[in-house]
């Protein structure tokens, strides 16, 4: 298919002895939104950071990540990354308060991105910055240009971060739990804003989410991760209506039992890295596990309209 924007194959990432990501594969078409879900430590942020070229030297990777006309993001030089980051790939971080520079006005921060990345004049950058602030729902954008980050609410700061990320019309936006520092009513507004703005630009978006209900409402596709392995992936509607992986079922049952929409960690815990099973990493907690599961990694393969990595899938709901 030629409308595939991102095609990640067998992304494996080691930090010293720890295998943080274990042959992660995922695809994303142009204009699609994808949710990465899974418990804390599953590797969601690491995937986003690896695909933004922000890993640093302590990590080693293998696998490939084809993006648009780039044959492999993972083998780009720092110079190659600099040409893509901010222009074709952008990221909204979890905590806008920490990501914005407290010493400069938000207008200056936005305008400087536009000047640096698009080569706009001071005057052009300023008027484009005002228009961008308006497009992300900031009232009195002209007046707010001279505000410092601390003079804005958390929701407003996050809108500024979205404006900065969208400044150069990226083809792919990563939003790593973009709302978890905000209160619930503002969270939905920010997610909606990111969706509207990426869709209006025909861009794709990868959301890192803790909230299955939000994922089901807002994302076309979902990837369920456990301890750095993809367990189940496919159209959100198919996966969440009828999960076939024991881990996806467990996640869903926790949400239902507790009666909240947040992903509350299920019973048990992820084993330490030096005790990870060689096969399915979920085998230490899975009610269906047998000796083969612990020893042999199940391949990610198509089952009932989604991709599934499991030797003993659940029956249809």
- Residue 46 or 179: the one with the smaller Cβ distance to ligand ATP is 46
All residues at 6 or more sequence positions from 155 whose CB lies less than 8 Å from its CB, including other chains: 182, 186, 189, 190
Q: Is 180 in the site for Mg ion (CB under 5 A)?
A: no
**CB of 208: closest distance to Mg ion in angstroms?**
6
162, 268, 314 from 250: Cα distances, Å: 33, 11, 11
Q: Whole-number minimum distance, CB 40 to Mg ion, in Å?
A: 7
Strands 89-92 and 18-29: unpaired
Reading the block at residue 25, the tokens are 């594969």
Name which of 109 and 218 has its Cβ closer to ligand ATP. 218
Instruction: Tell me the C-alpha distance between 140 and 137, whole Å.
Output: 9
Residues near ligand ATP (CB under 6 A): 15, 20, 38, 40-46
* Min separation Cβ 43 and ligand SF4, Å: 17
> Which residue in the block uniquely carries the two structure tokens 């815990």?
269
Judged by the rule CB under 6 A, the positions of this chain that interact with ligand SF4 are 246-247, 280, 282-283, 286, 288-289, 293, 298, 310-312
Name which of 38 and 178 has its Cβ closer to ligand ATP: 38
Q: Which is nearer to ligand ATP, 119 or 272 (CB)?
A: 272
**Least Å from the CB of residue 271 to ligand SF4:** 12
Pairwise CA distance, residues 84 & 298, whole Å:
35
The residues that bridge with 250 in the sheet, in sequence order, are none
* Nearer residue to ligand ATP within complex by CB, 91 or 163: 91
Task: Tell me which of ligand SF4, ligand ATP, Mg ion, none is bound by residue 113, counting a contact when its beta carbon lies within the kind-specific cut-off of 5 to 8 angstroms.
Answer: none
Strand 172-176 relative to strand 204-208, pairing:
parallel
Q: Which of 29, 30, 45, 189 binds Mg ion (CB under 5 A)?
A: 45
> Which residue in 276, 261, 268, 222 sits closest to 245, CA to CA?
222
């Amino acid at each position: 298919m030629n409308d595939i924007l991102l095609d990640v194959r067998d992304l494996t990432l080691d930090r010293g002895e720890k295998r943080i990501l274990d042959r992660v594969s995922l695809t994303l078409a142009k204009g699609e939104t994808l949710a990465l879900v899974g418990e804390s430590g599953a590797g969601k942020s690491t995937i986003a950071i690896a695909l933004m070229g922000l890993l640093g030297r302590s990590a080693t990777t293998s696998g490939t990540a084809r993006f648009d006309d780039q044959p492999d993001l993972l083998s780009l030089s720092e110079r190659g990354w600099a040409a893509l980051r901010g222009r074709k790939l952008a990221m909204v971080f979890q905590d806008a308060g920490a990501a914005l520079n407290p010493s400069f006005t938000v207008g200056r921060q936005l305008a400087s991105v536009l000047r640096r990345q698009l080569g706009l004049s001071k005057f052009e950058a300023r008027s484009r910055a005002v228009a961008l602030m308006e497009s992300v729902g900031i009232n009195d954008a002209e007046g707010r240009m001279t505000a410092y980050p601390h003079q804005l609410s958390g929701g407003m700061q996050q809108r500024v971060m979205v404006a900065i990320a969208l400044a150069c019309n990226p083809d792919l936006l990563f939003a790593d739990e973009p709302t978890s520092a905000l209160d619930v009513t503002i969270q939905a507004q920010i997610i909606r804003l990111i969706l509207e703005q990426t869709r209006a630009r025909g861009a794709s978006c990868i959301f890192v989410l803790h909230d299955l209900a939000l994922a089901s409402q807002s994302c076309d596709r979902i990837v369920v991760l456990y301890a750095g392995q993809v367990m189940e992936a496919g159209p959100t509607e198919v996966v969440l209506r009828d999960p076939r992986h024991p881990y996806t079922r467990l996640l869903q049952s926790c949400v239902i039992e507790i009666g909240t929409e947040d992903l509350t960690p299920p019973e048990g815990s992820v084993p330490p890295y030096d005790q990870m099973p060689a096969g399915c990493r979920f085998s230490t907690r899975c009610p269906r596990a047998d000796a083969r599961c612990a020893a042999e990694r199940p391949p990610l393969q198509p089952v009932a309209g989604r991709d599934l990595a499991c030797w003993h899938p659940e029956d249809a709901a």
